[in-house]
Chains A and B, each alone.
Chain A
Amino acid sequence: MPFLHGAPLPAPLRQVTLWGPEMALIVTPIAPGASQEPSW
């Protein structure tokens, strides 16, 4: 899986959390084959 400079990631990236002064943002890749529609 390439990253920003085209080099492969050292391991599968499962989640990224960005912490800011007031909030956090959790970014989670959708697994291949999984439904992208919410279940609710």
Chain B
Amino acid sequence: MVTATPRGAALGLLERFALQASADPVVSGPLAGELGADRRRGAAARGGLSARGPRAREPPGWPGAVAPLVLRDQDGLAVYAFLSRGMPGRALASLAAALHRALDGVVPPVDSIALRLAACRVLVRRLAGPGRSPALLVLGSVSIDRPGLARLELERTAARLAAVVGG
């Protein structure tokens, strides 16, 4: 089911309506435990993502404690991930990179992507900047209730991170 809305609409409400309309039985269920330890680490590593420095700092204002992770794949795409503890960082970074490549260049353009995976939300945004190597910011938390505010925080964090890493 596809729902389109102008920017600035009550996105969280629309997302919940869409979940209800799709007869999703777990709209409000506590599913935080479904994202367990990263069992796919080996598979993701085989996909070419490897840890690299420098260590990133947790973004201020982000809901809940997060763990920073910096990865780079064989094509030079850097992924800066800030995820709630226990979320599978390598698998989510690999998924974010795959989505970014799939949507690169589409019209109209996609600035950022939000995923609901079980009870968690994962936000993906490209770090902009002329002349820089491609990079993604990935934020994930189990405690994101308001996607509009989360997007604002994503934009702020992307701007700060781009300044730090040379965006």
Residues of A whose CB lies within 8 Å of any CB of B are: 3-5, 7-31, 33-35, 38-39
Could you say which residues of chain B place their CB within 8 Å of the CB of A15? 15, 18-19, 115-116
- Evaluate whether A26 and B115 lie within 8 angstroms (CB atoms) in the complex, with A3-B98, A10-B88, A11-B34 already known: no
Could you say which residues of chain A place their CB within 8 Å of the CB of B101? 4
Q: Are B6 and A18 interface neighbours, CB within 8 A?
A: no
Q: Are B1 and A30 interface neighbours, CB within 8 A?
A: yes
Q: Nearest chain-A residue to B44 (Cβ)?
A: A7
Q: Are A34 and B19 interface neighbours, CB within 8 A?
A: no
29 CB < 8 A contacts A-B = A5-B47, A5-B94, A5-B98, A7-B91, A8-B40, A10-B35, A11-B34, A11-B35, A12-B34, A13-B116, A14-B19, A16-B113, A17-B114, A18-B110, A20-B109, A20-B110, A21-B108, A21-B111, A24-B5, A24-B7, A25-B2, A27-B2, A28-B1, A28-B19, A28-B22, A29-B1, A29-B22, A30-B22, A31-B22
Residues of B whose CB lies within 8 Å of any CB of A are: 1-7, 9, 11, 14-15, 18-19, 21-26, 34-35, 38, 40, 43-44, 47, 88, 91-92, 94-95, 98-99, 101-103, 108-118, 120, 147, 151
Interface of chain B, helix or strand or loop or mixed?
mixed
Q: Are A7 and B7 interface neighbours, CB within 8 A?
A: no
- Evaluate whether A19 and B34 lie within 8 angstroms (CB atoms) in the complex, with A27-B2, A28-B22 already known: no
